[in-house]
Structure 1
Amino acid sequence: MEKLQREVRFLKAYALVLTTVLIAFFFMAFRNDFGKQRFQEIDVERINVVEKDGTLKMVISNKERQHPGMAEGKSLPARERQAGLIFFNTAGDECGGLVYDADKKDGAGMVFSVDQYRNDQIMQLQYQQDLEGNKARSYGLKLWDRPDNFTLVRQNQIHDSLAALKDEKASEKVYAQLASEGKFGTERLFVGRTWKDEVGLFIRDNKGKVRIKIYVDKQNQTKIETFDEQGKPITK
């Protein structure tokens, strides 16, 4: 009987020690104050950079796991996006990013975008190249104007409403009207190389019509052109 009691006491002590060790390992595994860590190499499909309260600030991801974007704190519907970096502000909106890729079907490209608050991009540093056909390419800086009262959330609401109608002609009419009013943004400036091998400065008015072109064409001829509101040449 005494031997049995000693064995029971031993087992209790053993269980207590083992439990204590396991609890210690558990808390060490989930501590968030390890501080700075150093790795020689790491393979990862996606990294989320967050604030201490969990607010998402940046995503570094491959194509398959790329974030669909956020507007006013809510994730946008799932969609195909390229690998790269996506930035988010404290207000819960996507506010820019850097994406890139290259394949025979869609060509090669890299785009760094800066988004307007609660809207789409207003500035891009972009490079695009056709990998088939005539091997054309374009690259440079592009700027847009976008309204403050027609946010990305509002655009998505209209898109969903029109999709529910299942009336292609009615949808095209609404989209055309909104585009003519500049609701989806208006290109204002491009500095760089065009698909026509023109290198220079191209300025548009607030309706998106080209008004000034200062460039060198593919024959190395210098051109300065201005246009009126109807797109008719004024000077060459």
Structure 2
Amino acid sequence: MEKLQREVRFLKIYALALTTVLIGFLFMAFRTDFGKQRFEEIDVERINVVEKDGTLKLVISNGARQHPGLAEGKQLSPRKREPGMIFFNSAGDECGGLVYDATKEGGAGMVFSVDQYRNDQIMQLQYSQEIDGGPKYRSYGLKMWDRRDDITVTRVSNLVDSLNKLKDKEAINKGYETLNQDGTFGVERLFVGKNTKDEVGLFIRDNDGKPRIKIYIDKNNKARIVTLDEKGQVEQSVPAAK
């Protein structure tokens, strides 16, 4: 009887200890606040950085899992995007990012974008190069745009979707031309860097996106300063354009 009592007491202690360990494992499994963690190396396809309330602020992702973007709190339609980082503001909009890629069969590039509020990019640091499959070129520099305050990403997306539903190709092309002329897609205002013509310098455009001032070194290593009128005609060229 005494031996049986010792065995029962042992089993009770064993059961209590096992239960405690299981509770500890369950607690760790469902715990969400682990505090600061340190890793020597980690492989991951995507990281979402969020606020405590779940508001998305940053996505770091490969190309396959890249976020399609947000506009006014709504996720945009799925689309192919390059790997990199996409930034989001507290108003529920994509507000910029850093993306990059290169393929042996195509081109190479990297772009850091700053977006206007509820609109597309107004400033970019960009590099692009054709490696194979087309005319060889290399371009890099700082580019800036003006964008209308009354044209949001959501509105542009709706206009483009409406055009693409048309079955008349001529009507589609005319629609895109109209949107481009009225500034719906933004107007390029400035580029500083090397363009696809192997010109390195400062290139300024007017409110309509027409080239007006060019200060650059051409592909023949000649320094040039050129001003143009609204019709694209040369007003002044130093040295004189040939």
Give your verdict on TM over 0.5: yes
Equivalence for 1:218:
219
Cα distance change of structure 1 residues 13 and 161 upon mapping to structure 2, 3 Å threshold: farther
Supply the distance in 1 between the matched residues of 2:230 and 2:130 (Cα, whole angstroms).
32
Equivalence for 2:162:
161
Supply the distance in 1 between the matched residues of 2:40 and 2:173 (Cα, whole angstroms).
54
CA drift of 1:14 comes to 6.7
Matches within 5 A, 1:107-146: 107-132=107-132, 135-146=136-147
2:188 corresponds to 1:191: no
CA drift of 1:219 comes to 1.2
Specify the SS of the correspondent of 1:98: strand
CA drift of 1:12 comes to 8.5
Supply the distance in 2 between the matched residues of 1:173 and 1:15 (Cα, whole angstroms).
79
Matches within 5 A, 1:66-105: 66-105=66-105
The runs of 4+ residues in structure 1 deviating greater than 4 Å are: 6-20
CA drift of 1:13 comes to 8.1
**Runs of 5+ unmatched residues, structure 1:** 1-5
Equivalence for 1:180:
181
Supply the distance in 1 between the matched residues of 2:92 and 2:65 (Cα, whole angstroms).
19
| Alignment-mate amino acid for residue 95 of structure 1 | C
2:171 corresponds to 1:170: yes
CA drift of 1:37 comes to 1.1
Among all aligned residue pairs of Structure 1 and Structure 2, give the percentage whose two residues are the same amino acid.
Answer: 70
Supply the distance in 2 between the matched residues of 1:179 and 1:8 (Cα, whole angstroms).
86
Specify the SS of the correspondent of 1:36: coil
| Alignment-mate amino acid for residue 232 of structure 1 | Q
Equivalence for 1:3:
none
CA drift of 1:33 comes to 2.7
Supply the distance in 2 between the matched residues of 1:153 and 1:120 (Cα, whole angstroms).
10
CA drift of 1:165 comes to 3.4
CA drift of 1:173 comes to 1.9
CA drift of 1:169 comes to 2.3
Cα distance change of structure 1 residues 178 and 8 upon mapping to structure 2, 3 Å threshold: farther
RMSD: 2.4
Cα distance change of structure 1 residues 153 and 8 upon mapping to structure 2, 3 Å threshold: farther
Equivalence for 1:106:
106
